[in-house]
Chains A and B, each alone.
Chain A
Amino acid sequence: MLYEREALDTPEWWQGLDEMIERQHEQYPESVQTALIPLLHYVQNAFGYVPEKAINHIAQALGVPTAYVCGVASFYSYFSLEPKGAFTISVCLGTACFVRGAQAILDEFCRQLDVEAGGTTSDRIFTVSDSSRCLGACGQAPVVMIDDDVHAKVVAQDVADIVAEYEARARREMQAREERARADARSHVQ
């Protein structure tokens, strides 16, 4: 089973992006470039990464070369140019977590999911981040963030349970989506 993100790629979404560009133009008339990073955040939030289509769109709207937008997006580790899994596992590798054994936890996630750090599982459920730096919960080290959930004081033995929990969640979501699609199809027939 291959996990796929729900398509956000609707005309309304692109219209929303254009409206945001418009607002930024008004706010910073003297420097359109200023809008770039907020726009990339907006795209990344929606898709989980920055697709090529969005890069072209933004470059055109701001009147800057595509290469420039790519250059900025690739400079910042927060933006990804590759699609990500449904859940991104970020094992904090900040100093506090490192001193408390975070590397072993990261290794364990990679081992159990059979991916390298930075990679995405073949079912596209998980991406294991390779660049997670302090999440600001150092007092609870080592910490692992998965989407917005922060798991505190994680030990290697917790890893299997954590993986199972999110896997189940992804499956439930896909199931619900399938059912919705089937219901939609039925109502079309009627």
Chain B
Amino acid sequence: MAATETLAELKDAAKPHLEMEPERPQLLVGVATCANAAGARKTRAKLVEALEAAGLTDEVDLVQVGCVGACSREPLVEVRTPGEAPRMYVEVDEERAVEIVEQDLSGGKPIVAWLIDEGERIGEPAPHQTMARPGEINLFTRDWQNVGFFERQFRIALRNVGRIDPESIDDYLSVGGYAALAKMLDEMTSDDVIEVVTGSKLRGRGGAGFPTGMKWRFTAAEEETPKYIVCNADEGDPGAFMDRSTLEGDPHSVIEAMVIGGFAIGAERGYVYVRAEYPLAIRRLEKAIEEARERGILGENVLGTDFSFDVSLRLGAGAFVCGEETALIASMEGKRGMPRPRPPYPSQSGLWGKPTCINNVETLANIAPIILNGPEWFASIGTEESKGTKVFALAGNVNNTGLIEVPMGITLREIIFDLGAGIPGGREFKAAQTGGPSGGCLSQEYLDTPIDYDSLREAGAIMGSGGLIVMDDASCMVDIAKFFLTFTQDESCGRCTPCREGTRRMLEVLERISVGEGEERDFERLERLCNACTRASLCGLGQTAANPVISTLQHFRDEYVAHIDDRVCPAHICRALLHYEIAPDPCVGCGLCKRVCPVQCISGEPREPHVIDIDACTSCGACYEACKFDAIVRA
């Protein structure tokens, strides 16, 4: 029997938790790490309780889904009633949960003020299946394409995240999951697969942007067996969570792609190397692997064909450098996670010395739609050199924090001000940081630069894995550079001198500058250190460690000048450069500052103006935050 027929049988037998065309009301609750942090577990428990109280337990399906991306509005609860456009409630705490059940579900009156689209679509019919693309069915496009935060997005990698129950393989099957795998097994040779992936011009999403098709071809060309395919789910960039969300929301999309990749390169075994810090992602992956085995999709004779493939998990243990491919291999082999020089590349000699193909989570999540829709379709999205979409973890000082997937070529301005809805608290935009510790900070002038691999590199940042941190005018760029160097210095594995010593020296210089002991020669010193570290380091960690310094020096030099020449921190962040005083006029002598001061350096009689003992003051700012009369002056 052909794989497509085996799959059709599985699909017929499937009992998805989320029906395509629901015949009865459904409640979708986002359950993911971010949502749980916002209290989704409590919300869910309350919904169960409220449904019971309303006597609706047997009439409404309560289903958990992954995070749809609007993290700042979580917990999210989506109500679907047959024939109607879905309604997404935001910030659903326990109180709102009860109201939603009582008013919307029982009473038939949606609560417009709590809806993400503020009720724009109430009364509209359910969106039509024909809007389905890519893959067989794209629920995201169908349900949310025309609504605010989602409007500029185009979801390929995240197509199912937040749309299906990630703990149910039946849900994945019912939206066309594993159809790409079956199609490949029936109709394609491994060369065909590589041809299609190459033709799509998909580039690796893990940071380096290497063409995926080419990597597969290199590994396929090796004679030595066995070969391995490894999914890099180490997601080390602190401030990025694309891979976590994908694994938590749609683990099968990654597993399906690993089987496809395994077939293409001639591997029978795959590993997912996942951060130990992601317990929910690990649990859902385990469940997905188990269910795929039960259905005959993993293991001997995949979908009844004579191809066999299995996947297992390996946990990381908290080392950033293990995201680097050769260090990752060392870690999987039970060694210290230290990189080694390349060549040989992992495609030649990787895990246990065998040919190994390493792909990032998001790279893999793009594979099934490419197989189904063809390379031309994928290559028609994005820019000349960067095809398809990119997922960004939008965070920091921006109103809508969360996960977005946008076509390559979109500008920073569109992301930050349209999708992100601008900077909170009436503050000004100062910088956008992409690429994490390997990336750079871009200033205002770059807001209209199209985002693709090459333009970002030219601007002094990198695409990286997709972390995008927005900073407002209260951020100090010297402090940010210091932050990243603290990180890389700490994470440097110590194997090569340029990285180990270079990051330490750079950090020392930055620390001096931030306490007002910088000198004119520090510019030159930093430039020299940046250069040495970039050129002479063994792996990508050291080669890119200087980027945060280089880019802040380039785009925010005046802030360094202010710290060094004038001994001031314009953003009032660097503590040692701050001075606090009490202005006698506005001070009413309430004594609050005196009480909050951790070092007891404020004195004064009740109802008399107080004074700060400047010598004892540690500039912690507690009094400044506490004063209700704006009597504390910061300079």
> Could you tell me which residues of chain A, from 70 to 91, have a CB within 8 Å of some CB in chain B?
71-72, 75-79
Contact among B236, B245, B279 with A148 in the assembled complex (CB-CB below 8 Å): B279
Chain A residues whose CB sits within 8 angstroms of the CB of B401 once the complex forms = 96, 138-141
Among B237, B319, B334, B490, the residue within 8 A (CB) of A134 is B237
The CA of A100 and the CA of B279, in the complex, are separated in Å by 24
Q: Which residues 103-142 of A sit at the B interface, judged by CB distance below 8 A?
A: 107, 111, 131, 133-141
How distant is the Cα of A100 from the Cα of B39 in the complex, in angstroms? 20
Within the complex, the shortest CB–CB distance from B355 to chain A, in Å, comes to 16
Cross-chain contact of A31 among B278, B314, B334, B483 (Cβ < 8 A): B334
Q: Contact between A138 and B241 (Cβ–Cβ < 8 Å)?
A: yes
Contacts of A134 in B (CB 8 A): 235, 237-241, 277
B243 closest partner in A (C-beta): A136
Tell me, in angstroms, the Cα distance from A135 to B318 when the chains sit together: 11
Which residues of A from 132 to 166 have beta carbons under 8 Å from B? 133-141, 143, 148, 150-152, 156
A138-B317 contact in complex given A95-B467, A151-B37, C-beta closer than 8 Å: no
Do A34 and B235 have beta carbons less than 8 Å apart?
no
A135 and B33 within 8 A (CB):
yes
Do A95 and B337 touch across chains, with their CB atoms under 8 A apart? no
Q: Would you give the shortest CB distance from B224 to chain A, in whole angstroms?
A: 14
Interface string of B413-456 (1 = CB under 8 A from A): 00000000000000000000100100000000000000000000
Q: In the complex, what residues of A have CB within 8 A of residue B33's CB? A: 135-137, 150
The yes or no answer to B333 lying at the interface (CB within 8 A) is: yes
| Interface status of A12 (Cβ within 8 A of chain B) | no
Asked if residues A76 and B483 are in contact (CB atoms below 8 Å), the reply is no
Q: Do A131 and B34 have beta carbons less than 8 Å apart?
A: no
A184–B352 CA distance with the chains assembled, in angstroms: 52
Contact count band on A: 35 or more
Shortest distance between the CB of B272 and any CB in chain A (Å):
14
Write the nearest CB–CB distance from B147 to chain A, whole angstroms. 18
Interchain CB contact under 8 A, B239 and A78: no
Partner of A152, one of B37, B314, B402, B480: B37
Nearest-neighbor residue (CB-CB) of A151 within chain B:
B37
Given the complex, which residues of B lie within 8 Å of A136, measured CB to CB? Answer: 33-34, 235, 241, 244-245, 277-278
CB of B241 within 8 A of CB of A38, answer no
Tell me the smallest distance from the CB of B561 to a CB of chain A, in Å: 23
Cβ proximity bits A6-49 to B, threshold 8 Å, 1 near / 0 not: 00000000000000000000000011011111101100000000
Closest residue on chain A to residue B247 by CB atoms: A136
B552 at the interface (CB under 8 A from A): no
- Place the interface of chain B in its size category: 35 or more
Contact B241 A75 (CB under 8 A): no
B279 → A minimal CB distance (Å) = 7
Mask of B602-633 contacts with A, CB within 8 angstroms, 1/0: 00000000000000000010000100000000
Cα distance A107–B575 in the bound complex, in angstroms: 13
Given that A94-B239, A111-B598, A148-B279 are known contacts, is A138 also in contact with B352, CB under 8 Å in the complex? no
Chain B residues with CB under 8 Å of A94's CB are 238-239
* B311 proximal to A (CB < 8 A): no
CB of B471 closer than 8 Å to a CB of A = yes
**B317→A37 contact, CB < 8 A:** yes
| Bound form: Cα–Cα A139–B33 in Å | 10
Q: Does residue B145 face the partner (Cβ distance < 8 Å to A)?
A: no
Which of A33, A93, A134 has the most B CB atoms < 10 Å from its CB? Answer: A134
Task: Specify the chain A residue showing the minimal Cβ separation from B321.
Answer: A75
Residues of B within 8 A of A100 (CB): 396-397
The listed residue (A37, A99, A138) touching B471 by CB distance below 8 A is A99
- CB contacts under 8 Å to A, within B240-262, are 240-241, 244-245
The verdict on B315 contacting chain A, using a C-beta distance below 8 Å, is: yes
- Assess whether B320 is interfacial by the CB under 8 Å rule: yes
Query: Which residues on the B side are within 8 Å of A98 (C-beta)?
Result: 483
Of the candidates B278, B333, B483, the one whose C-beta lies within 8 Å of that of A95 is: B483
Q: When chains A and B are docked, how far (Å) is the Cα of A80 from the Cα of B475?
A: 34
Q: Is B20 an interface residue (CB 8 A)?
A: no
Min CB distance A18 to B, Å, is 18
User: Contacts A98-B483, A136-B244 given: A75-B319 contact, CB under 8 Å?
Assistant: yes
For A141, give the chain B residue with the smallest CB separation: B395
Q: Which residues of B contact A140 (CB under 8 A)?
A: 34, 37-38, 71-72, 74, 401
Q: How far is the CA of A76 from the CA of B397 in the complex (A)?
A: 31
Q: Does B547 contact A (CB under 8 A)?
A: no
CB-CB under 8 A from B412, the residues of chain A are none
Kindly state the separation between the CA atoms of A125 and B112 in the bound complex, as whole angstroms: 46
* Bound-state Cα–Cα, A81 to B463, Å: 37
Provided the pairs A30-B352, A152-B37 are in contact, do residues A139 and B402 lie with their beta carbons within 8 angstroms?
yes
**Residue among A37, A38, A40 facing the most chain B CB atoms (10 A cut-off):** A37
Complex CA distance for A134 and B245, rounded to whole angstroms: 13
Contact between B72 and A78, CB atoms less than 8 A apart? no
B200-253 residues with Cβ-Cβ distance < 8 A to A are 235-241, 244-245
Greatest chain A CB density within 10 A among B238, B403, B433 is at: B238
Chain A residues positioned under 8 Å from B471 (CB to CB): 99
Q: Give the CA-CA distance A57 to B71 in the complex, in Å.
A: 45
Contact of B331 with A by CB under 8 A: yes
Check A99 against B244 for contact (C-beta < 8 Å): no
Residue of A nearest to B471 (CB): A99
Nearest to B433 among chain A residues (CB) is A95
Chain B contacts for A34, CB-based, 8 A: 332-334
Query: Max chain B CB contacts within 10 Å: which of A71, A98, A107?
Result: A98
Q: Which of A72, A107, A136 has the most CB of B within 10 A?
A: A136
**Residue in A78, A96, A152 whose beta carbon sits within 8 Å of that of B396 in the complex:** A96
**Residues of B contacting A138 in the complex (Cβ-Cβ under 8 angstroms):** 34, 71, 239-241, 393, 395, 401
Across the interface, do A76 and B333 meet the contact criterion of CB distance under 8 Å? no
Query: Is B469 on the interface with A (CB-CB < 8 A)?
Result: yes
Are the C-beta atoms of B318 and A139 separated by less than 8 Å?
Answer: no
Question: Which residues of A are found within 8 Å of B240, using beta-carbon distances?
Answer: 134, 138
In the complex, what residues of A have CB within 8 A of residue B37's CB?
A: 137, 140, 143, 150-152
Tell yes or no: B342 within 8 A of A by CB.
no
- Out of B34, B334, B598, name the residue touching A36 (CB < 8 Å): B334
B469 touches A137 (CB 8 A): no
B266-306 interface mask toward A, CB cutoff 8 Å, 1 = contact, 0 = none? 00000000001111000000000000000000000000000
14 contacts across the A-B interface (CB closer than 8 A): A33-B335, A34-B333, A37-B334, A77-B318, A79-B318, A93-B238, A95-B239, A99-B471, A131-B318, A133-B236, A136-B34, A136-B241, A138-B239, A138-B401
Which residue numbers of B lie inside 8 Å of A, CB to CB?
33-34, 36-39, 71-72, 74, 235-241, 244-245, 276-279, 314-320, 331-337, 352, 393-397, 401-403, 433, 436, 467, 469, 471, 475, 480, 483-484, 487, 490, 493, 598, 620, 625
A interface residues, Cβ below 8 angstroms from B: 30-31, 33-38, 40-41, 71-72, 75-79, 93-100, 107, 111, 131, 133-141, 143, 148, 150-152, 156
Taking A41-B317, A148-B279 as given, write out 16 further A-B residue pairs in contact, using a Cβ cutoff of 8 Å, ordered by the A residue number.
Answer: A37-B314, A71-B336, A77-B319, A93-B238, A99-B397, A99-B471, A134-B240, A136-B244, A136-B277, A136-B278, A137-B34, A139-B34, A140-B37, A140-B38, A141-B395, A152-B37
The 7 closest A-B pairs by CB, nearest first: A139-B71, A95-B239, A94-B238, A76-B317, A78-B318, A96-B395, A36-B334
